[in-house]
Amino acid sequence: MKLYDEIPSLDLNDFKLGDSAKKSKFVEDLGNAFNNIGFVAIKNHGLSDELQNRLYEAVKKFFALPDEIKKKYEREDLHGQRGYVSKGKEHAKGRNTADLKEFYHIGQEIIPGEEYPEEYPANVFPEEVPEFKELTVQTFRILENTGLTLLRAIALYLQLPENYFDDKASKGNSILRAIHYYPIEDPDSVPPDAVRAGEHGDINLITLLMGASADGLQVLRRDGKWIPITALPEQIVVNVGDMLDRLTNHKLKSTIHRVVNPPRELMNTPRYSIPFFMHPRSSMSLACLSNCIDEQNPKRYEDITAGEFLEQRLLEIGLKK
């Protein structure tokens, strides 16, 4: 297998609007990318430049607020699943040193009169940045729709019905996370092994990431080499998470990635990033698909639901005690 030095770029319109040949090629190329480097860049994803720019401005305004104001929106009882999560709270699985970041979580925004598969906690929005609610909810809905389209392509790659994921991921327990990798004025003031985000695999099915404000994201290639990941302005980056890895018995491999610190002289500069973590409904079974198990690839994971797996991981990364 040829190892990529950069992530492949695909056009989602080839799947949505193309003829059968273009659609089939998109499915094949997406599956190959997820089996190789684990990341893919997608254009025609539905997010406008204007929306992204306005969202980043709102996010920067929130994180520029004093800590005592930001902490008004921290909900310890929700284990970081809604609202603000302050510095020093989250670490990568298998690490004890906290990541150098703070973040804000937006989940499903409940629309009165609509039915939802489970009882989601209410979102928490900052009064000091009134545009924050409109921009995050709008972005959430666009990326959820894009994620469902990508899951249809993934279903076809796995030789499942195209709509296999529709009733499992629609109105799922997804999260839009606005991250602030805060500036460090004195690099000697933090633990020597502290990084912006330690190496990890995402918990969810797939992650959709709009362009970050600075470099730093790296992916671990299959041969053990770390490759920097950057997306062009019109692209988002998509990767496989641990839930999809479990479901496919490691056929589609969750990609280990990290956010490294900048050079010491640039540690006093911030970095902002906004990933969308596409989760299914908590009741979805992550039991390995039967067509992903054979003599060469015996079943490697125990049966578990998405909700049970999320609970495990929240404990492992420090958001739940």
Widest distance between CA atoms in the chain:
58
Return the pLDDT at 320.
Answer: 67
Return the pLDDT at 99.
Answer: 87
Return the pLDDT at 5.
Answer: 66
Q: How far apart are CA 27 and CA 46, in angstroms?
A: 19
Do residues 206 and 147 touch, judged by C-beta distance below 8 A? yes
Q: Under CATH, what is the fold of the domain 18-316?
A: Jelly Rolls (2.60.120)
What are the Cα distances from residue 87, in Å, to 91, 104, 192? 10, 11, 17
Per-residue pLDDT of the chain (321 residues; tens, 9 = 90+): 555 667 889 999 999 998 999 999 999 999 988 887 788 999 999 999 999 999 999 999 999 999 999 999 999 888 889 999 999 877 777 777 888 899 999 999 999 998 999 999 999 999 999 999 999 999 999 999 999 999 999 999 999 999 999 999 999 999 999 999 998 888 888 888 888 888 888 999 999 998 765 678 888 887 888 888 876 778 999 999 999 999 999 989 898 899 888 888 888 999 999 999 999 999 999 999 999 999 999 999 999 999 999 989 888 877 766
Return the pLDDT at 321.
Answer: 66
* Residues linked to residue 85 through DSSP beta bridges, in sequence order: 103
Q: How far apart are CA 124 and CA 126, in angstroms?
A: 7
Q: Which two tokens stand for residue 181?
A: 């990798």
Nearest 5°: phi and psi at 29? -65, -35
In terms of phi and psi (left: phi > 0; alpha: psi -120 to 50; beta: otherwise), the region of 184 is beta
255 half-sphere exposure, CB direction, 13 A CA radius: 27
Return the pLDDT at 243.
Answer: 96
Return the pLDDT at 300.
Answer: 94
